[in-house]
Amino acid sequence: MNTDTKTIGPTQARETTQAAQAAQIPSMPGASRALLQEYSIVLIFLGVCVLFAVWTGGLFLRPDNIMNVLRQISINAVIATGMTFVIITTGNIDLSVGSVVALVAVSSARILKALALHMPIWPAIAASCALALVVGGAVGAWNGFFVTRFKVPPFISTLSMWAAARGVAFILCDGRPIWNLPIQFDTIGRGYVLEGVFGPWIPIPVIIMAVFMIVAHVILTRTRTGRYAYATGGNMEAARLSGINVRKARMIAYIASGVSAALASLVLTSRLASGQPNSGEMYELYAIAACVVGGTSLSGGKGTILGTFIGALLIGTLNNGLNLAGVESYTQNVILGLVILGAVILDQFRKRD
């Protein structure tokens, strides 16, 4: 007979069960902190909206102003969508997207004017847009090729394309904007859905942004391509050993970035009604800011399209609200810089946890 056996009473048994359950359930302070970190950007955004609503006497919350904010962020949000793919998959940034915007703006304008002379206008617009996306994808593939095949650091590869694409854009137009585009092309950047039925309501750039980001979200969260992107960015060597083609995953990310920049360029070119060789300047920085503010980790392997949208929306809200409040542009840049710094610091705290 085992003399070490101890009889446990009902009270002791109940206490033991409660202790085991407590060990399995995270403490409320820790869970609350994780929840706060996860949704901090949403809380910050809501706080900023309340601040500007009070500061501007309700002018900020007018429906037409809200729609104006969405239209203003559409270009940056589209570029940032491709940038999100790059950062998640590679843990690096694509510095070439601003110059790709300029290259596509000039090349698509030239192609459109040439095609409009030989075919109906809408097929000409469709063909020029398709070719513009091909140009953007080709530039992204060029970046990815040198990064994956020749092991060129992504910073150097995309920086060289940043200079080269801008130079090619100026060469194609001899340094002068390309004007006199078909007026129908303006619909992409200036048109509205349901215009003439219920009045101007949703800008077409907002529709383009929404559809593009939804498709990107589905790819990242519901497809093998998305799973491979997260796995490659989280631990490239582990992904390779598990059978994932990390070269292909990284190549797809750079192509997505190029296509995103090309799509944004089409919207911008339509809005300006011209192909500008100096368009897209500093766009890469705003796209990176939207990703980082939205929670995409610069180490790779973490980020969401929804977060990127919130990041772009926060930046656009800051610019719009500060303009309505009469704050000068120099001060706005200071505030934006502090917001980006705060987002990076928050990302570092997340990594520690």
Give the Cα separation of 227 and 130 in Å (integer): 28
pLDDT score for 23: 38
Give the Cα separation of 330 and 223 in Å (integer): 43
Q: Tell me which amino acid residue 32 is.
A: S
pLDDT score for 43: 87
What distance, in Å, lies between the first and last C-alpha atoms of the chain? 49
Q: Provide the 3-class DSSP secondary structure of residue 146.
A: helix
Give the Cα separation of 90 and 249 in Å (integer): 9
Mean pLDDT of 103-123: 96
Whether 25 has a pLDDT exceeding 60, the answer reads no
Unique residue bearing structure tokens 């360029």: 265
Give the Cα separation of 323 and 55 in Å (integer): 11
Whether 27 has a pLDDT exceeding 50, the answer reads no
pLDDT score for 282: 92
Rounded to 10 degrees, the C-alpha dihedral 345/96/226/213 comes to 90
Q: pTM of the predicted model, to two decimals?
A: 0.88
Q: What is the pLDDT of residues 53-89, one digit of tens each?
A: 999 988 999 988 999 999 999 999 999 999 999 999 9
At 260, the pLDDT band (50, 70, 90 cuts) reads very high
At 5, the pLDDT band (50, 70, 90 cuts) reads very low
Whether 24 has a pLDDT exceeding 50, the answer reads no
pLDDT score for 38: 65
pLDDT score for 333: 86
- Among 303, 289, 265, smallest CA distance to 90 is for 303
Whether 3 has a pLDDT exceeding 70, the answer reads no
Choice among 33-37, 92-96, 198-202 with the minimum mean pLDDT? 33-37
**Where along the chain do its domains lie?**
42-49+59-352
Whether 20 has a pLDDT exceeding 70, the answer reads no
pLDDT score for 199: 56
- Average pLDDT of the chain is 88
Q: What is the pLDDT of residues 121-143, one digit of tens each?
A: 999 999 999 999 999 999 999 99
Neighbours of 323 (CB within 10 A): 13
pLDDT score for 14: 45
**213 neighbors 81 (Cβ within 8 angstroms):** yes
Which CATH code fits 42-49+59-352?
A: 1.10.3470
Whether 35 has a pLDDT exceeding 80, the answer reads no
- Among 302, 296, 320, smallest CA distance to 41 is for 296
Structure tokens at 38: 């996860």
Residue 93 makes CB contacts below 8 A (sequence gap 6+) with 83, 86, 87, 154, 155, 158, 284, 288, 298
Mean pLDDT of 19-43: 55
Whether 113 has a pLDDT exceeding 80, the answer reads yes
Q: What is the pLDDT of residues 204-258, one digit of tens each?
A: 999 999 999 999 999 999 999 999 999 999 999 999 999 999 999 999 999 999 9
At 37, the pLDDT band (50, 70, 90 cuts) reads low
Q: Provide the 3-class DSSP secondary structure of residue 3.
A: coil
Give the Cα separation of 192 and 190 in Å (integer): 7
Q: Residue 181 has what DSSP assignment?
A: -
Structure tokens at 32: 């609350």
Q: What pairing do the DSSP bridges indicate for beta strands 192-193 and 202-203?
A: antiparallel
